[in-house]
Structure 1
């Protein structure tokens, strides 16, 4: 089971670590997009969210307080869904569909992050991690 959980952690964080690289290396372009979506302080929000993604993703990947890492990803995903993908504001049907898909993807990943938090904070023997959980739910 330890290896399966490790493989799952690796697969789960690929998206976040790739996105973190984009946030940290393409700040100007991503800030422009965030500005167009009404995100306050996009030139600060983009690199800050990149750090959040990188730290949370690495924590889950390496098993260093993976429960906290999962919460950090959750903290990124929920506001991102609402601020960056407000499908309800779109008037064009194709744009609305695209934003709804992205909104639902972010909410689904937020749910998975919440489940990972509960898993890491509840299971006594995680195996193949560097540290145990920071929180205890059970």
Structure 2
């Protein structure tokens, strides 16, 4: 089962590591989009979220304090869902549906990250370090 969990970690973090590249190499255009969605201080926010995804993704992938990494991803995902994908603000039905899909994706990924947080707290194998947080 340790191998299954490792494969799940690889598949899970691929999205975040890929998105990190855009956040850190196309910061201006991504910050422009964030600003259009009402994100305050969009450029610093874009950089911070890129770093959160990088650190969280690598932590979960490598199993270096994977519980902390999973929480970093939750800290990225939940505010992003509400700030960037507020489907309730949309009036165009197509835009509303697209934002609802993105909102639900972010919330589902946050749920997955919380599941990884729990899994790491159980001391799963195939990690470099044990959990940072004690659940007992």
Partner of 1:119 in structure 2? 119
Partner residue in 2 for 1:22: 22
Give the alignment's TM-score, normalised by structure 1.
0.96
Q: How many pairs are equivalent?
A: 136
Q: Which residue pairs with 1:130 in the alignment?
A: 128
Q: Quick check: 1:37 aligned with 2:46?
A: no
Unaligned 5+ residue runs, structure 1? Answer: none
Aligned-residue Cα RMSD (Å) equals 0.7
**Structure 1 residue runs of 4+, over 2 Å off?**
none
Q: Give me the whole-angstrom Cα distance separating, in 2, the residues matched to 1:2 and 1:110.
A: 22
Q: How many Å separate the matches in 2 of 1:43 and 1:113?
A: 25
**Taking structure 2 as the reference length, what is the TM-score of the superposition?**
0.98
Extract unaligned runs of 5+ from structure 2. Answer: none
Task: Tell me, in whole angstroms, the C-alpha distance in 1 between the residues paired with 2:133 and 2:82.
Answer: 27
Correspondence for 1:110: 110
